[in-house]
Amino acid sequence: MNYRDFKPYLKISSLTLGGGGIGQVWGETTSEEAVKTVHAAIDHGINHFDVAPMYGKGEAERIIGKSLNGSDADDLFFTTKCQLGTLPDTEVYDKLNDSLTRSLDNMKLEKVNLFLLHSQLIEDNYKLYKFDEMRAKSATTLSCFFNAAIPAFERLQKEGKIDHWGIGGLGQEEAIIQALKHSQVPSAVQCVINPLNSAGAIGYVSEAFNPPAILYECQQLDIPILAIRAVQAGALTSSMDRSPHESGFDKSDFDDFDKAEPFRDLAIEWGESPASLAHRYALSIKGVASVILGVKNRTELKECVEAEAKDLLSDSEIQQIENCLT
């Protein structure tokens, strides 16, 4: 496993085990297999784990707690999140603190190294492209973020419950860029990075959400980047192993799978699985400290670890991948 510069921790494994798969949000797996996957990740040298209460209603966090089971975790780093929404300023700290307290209890930890806003950022009075009450409640306005969320994060830091805070890098492009350029800069940002330039079903805030614009701003401002959606909800793998009726997925993800047929053909031509090539693509993008995996078992994890061990893609190979999808 290679380790990369990541300002919050100095160094981080170039792969991070995410919580969607081990939280049993998609595809078939079990709690027992999820625990074994965490142990295998540690054995492979992965030292960063990215979970959230939303992943299986706390199941991903509980899997971390079961996997550690009181063992020494001093060399490991943990990220969790909170979907804040937009609340009155006086309620923001309590919402973040209550969520974090449950997460720490689930993981059996005294603090997390990175606490991320899991809401999608929007400008005040912005109307979501795909509107429904649930999605609207998940969005955080910039005024709420600047006036209440950032001070709450700083208070949690002073209380020793978190080391750093960051944002999820999803939402209204203009709002995210304003957050990145604010005087109080996030310690890390999760960026959608895949050759489809698609956030799929989670890109419901803007009609034309442009992930490369967020990536570019992070690169220019030297803000640490954690890559998400490397295989775009399965669209850049050999086959979709989930249903459009599962929570967090919709027709857009399956449309992306159809669009990605030339990518799968190219992967076969290069003698590699599509998932492996997609992860190598994300790993090869400038400024990426770690790619967050959505694997749900040891077999999928092994494929990603083997991809990480291969050479980074050259500029010409990256261009060839991008060209096949335009």
- Of the two residues 71 and 78, the one the predictor is more confident about is 78
Q: What percent of the chain clears pLDDT 70, i.e. is strictly above it?
A: 96
Residues 82 and 115 sit within 8 Å (Cβ to Cβ) = yes
User: Per-domain residue ranges for the chain?
Assistant: 9-324
**Across 282-305, average pLDDT:** 97
Strands 288-293 and 15-18: parallel
Residues 48 and 77 sit within 8 Å (Cβ to Cβ) = yes
For residue 131, what pLDDT is reported?
63
Owner of token pair 């090869």: 284
Angle between helix 274-283 and helix 261-269 axes, rounded to 10 deg: 90
For residue 62, which of 52, 74, 71 has the smallest C-alpha distance?
Answer: 52
**Across 135-141, average pLDDT:** 84
pLDDT value at 244 more than 70:
no
Q: What is the pLDDT of residues 208-224, one digit of tens each?
A: 899 999 999 999 999 99
- Of the two residues 26 and 139, the one the predictor is more confident about is 139
For residue 92, which of 145, 13, 22, 154 has the smallest C-alpha distance?
Answer: 145
pLDDT value at 245 more than 70:
no
Classified by CATH at the fold level, domain 9-324 comes out as: TIM Barrel (3.20.20)
For residue 241, what pLDDT is reported?
76
> Cβ–Cβ contacts within 10 Å for residue 261, how many?
12
Q: How confident is the model at residue 225 (pLDDT cuts 50, 70, 90)?
A: very high
What span, in angstroms and rounded, lies between the C-alpha atoms of 131 and 145?
21
**Across 129-156, average pLDDT:** 88
Q: How confident is the model at residue 249 (pLDDT cuts 50, 70, 90)?
A: low
117 phi and psi angles, rounded to 5 deg: -70, 120
**Across 120-139, average pLDDT:** 81
For residue 47, what pLDDT is reported?
97
For residue 246, what pLDDT is reported?
59
What span, in angstroms and rounded, lies between the C-alpha atoms of 99 and 25?
19
**Across 92-98, average pLDDT:** 98
Residues 147 and 89 sit within 8 Å (Cβ to Cβ) = yes
Range with lowest mean pLDDT among 36-40, 217-221, 238-242: 238-242
pLDDT value at 43 more than 80:
yes
Joined tokens for residue 213: 């614009």
The distance from CA 147 to its chain's CA centroid, rounded to whole angstroms, is 25
The three-class DSSP label of residue 78 is strand
Range with lowest mean pLDDT among 35-49, 131-145, 163-177, 241-255: 241-255
pLDDT value at 142 more than 60:
yes
What span, in angstroms and rounded, lies between the C-alpha atoms of 324 and 326?
6
For residue 153, what pLDDT is reported?
98
pLDDT, averaged across the chain: 93
What span, in angstroms and rounded, lies between the C-alpha atoms of 197 and 155?
36
What span, in angstroms and rounded, lies between the C-alpha atoms of 114 and 182?
19
For residue 25, what pLDDT is reported?
81
pLDDT value at 29 more than 90:
no
Q: How confident is the model at residue 197 (pLDDT cuts 50, 70, 90)?
A: very high
**Across 293-299, average pLDDT:** 95
